[in-house]
Amino acid sequence: MDNRDENQASETPSAIIMVPTYNERENIELLIPALLELPGDFDIIVVDDSSPDGTGELADELAEKHPRVHVLHRPPKGGLGKAILGGIQHVLDKPYDYIMTMDADFSHDPKYVPAMLEGMQTHDLMIGSRYVPGGGTENWGFKRKLNSWAANFITRLVLWIPAKDCSAGFKCYRADILRKIPLDKVISTGYAIQEELLYRYSKHTRDLGETPIIFKDRELGISKMNLGEIIETLSVLFRLRLRSMFGIDR
Ligand SMILES: Nc1nc2c(ncn2[C@@H]2O[C@H](COP(=O)(O)OP(=O)(O)OP(=O)(O)O)[C@@H](O)[C@H]2O)c(=O)[nH]1
Ligand SMILES: [Mg+2]
């Protein structure tokens, strides 16, 4: 039972958890209550790209019931990158200290949220990481493991980011560091936003913490990841490296 709704609705908590959604109605119906039950000083914002399955409407209903829940409605599917960027720009106007992102589909188990917030006491960024001791993936075949490992290896090689799980969507950022990033120069529109944001963030701090998570495959809804996203990610990594070499948008 969540007593904070009534008691603390007028105070702005220190953190906000941002959940980008596209057709995740069945998931947010379960995820939002699960997040609200956790201990911790945070609000939640669903960033929905006009999902045809009514995710946005359900999020509005949840927001009506729970003052800690907010919704940002965006135009039809503009890509994960644009959604996360739009969400970040929206919440940076508000006095939150920490902005956490997590997927709606329970691949990022809400039980890890307290460890992510706790980690922010000693680090400038926290990653819910599959690639530190204790972390991992459940039921992934060899090909998927190889793809993910290769994506992270190439990112570290090309962009020199001192983190193990660069492509993770489960991250907690400090708002004051995000404010230093020229968000208007971000080139990713899709999933590459994870690597690009981390790269731009790591120019301001190398203190990147990682807490182990076991990443579970979604049980409800369908994946929005596709080959186009993998190609965009590779192209973004190399374009960012070239821009840095030629002194553009440093
Ligand atoms: N707002 C918004 N959210 C998106 C968009 N594309 C994906 N998402 C959300 O981003 C999160 C990650 O997407 P997934 O489809 O789970 O991608 P994935 O985790 O790489 O793929 P799976 O492992 O197959 O689930 C989910 O919460 C999606 O609903 C988009 O264009 N707009
Ligand atoms: Mg997923």
CB 62 within 8 A of CB 28: yes
Q: Which ligand is nearest to the CA of 71?
A: 1
If you search the block for the tokens 């045809």, which residue do you land on?
52
Mean pLDDT of 79-98: 97
Q: Which ligand is nearest to the CA of 47?
A: 1
- Is residue 241 included in any domain, yes or no? yes
Between CA 39 and CA 45, with CA 41 as vertex, the angle to 5 degrees is: 105
- Kindly report the protein residue whose alpha carbon is nearest to atom 12 of ligand 1: 103
Instruction: State the total domains in the chain.
Output: 1
Mean pLDDT of 96-113: 97
Phi-psi region at 160: left, alpha or beta (left = phi > 0; alpha = psi -120 to 50): left
CA 109 / ligand 2 centre spacing (Å): 11
Does the pLDDT at position 8 exceed 60? no
- Is residue 164 included in any domain, yes or no? yes
CATH classification at residue 135: 3.90.550.10
Give the ranges where the chain is alpha helix by DSSP (H).
4-8, 25-36, 55-65, 80-92, 113-119, 142-159, 175-178, 193-201, 227-245
Question: pLDDT for 171-181, tens place per residue?
Answer: 999 999 999 99
Instruction: For ligand 1, pick from 19, 22, 23 the residue to mutate: most ligand atoms within 8 Å of CB.
Output: 22
CA 193 / ligand 2 centre spacing (Å): 15
- Is residue 250 included in any domain, yes or no? no
Tokens of 191: 């999933």
Max mean pLDDT range (10-19, 51-60, 212-221): 51-60
The parent domain of residue 127 ranges over 4-245
**47: Cβ below 6 Å to ligand 1?**
yes
Model pTM score: 0.93
Does the pLDDT at position 135 exceed 80? yes
Alpha carbon distance 245, 243 (integer Å): 5
Instruction: For ligand 1, pick from 22, 58, 224, 225 the residue to mutate: most ligand atoms within 8 Å of CB.
Output: 224
- Is residue 197 included in any domain, yes or no? yes
pLDDT at 230: 86
pLDDT at 246: 86
**80: Cβ below 6 Å to ligand 1?**
yes
Q: How confident is the model at residue 250 (pLDDT cuts 50, 70, 90)?
A: low
- Kindly report the protein residue whose alpha carbon is nearest to atom 13 of ligand 1: 224
Mean pLDDT of 13-41: 96
pLDDT at 124: 98
pLDDT at 4: 42
Q: How confident is the model at residue 74 (pLDDT cuts 50, 70, 90)?
A: very high
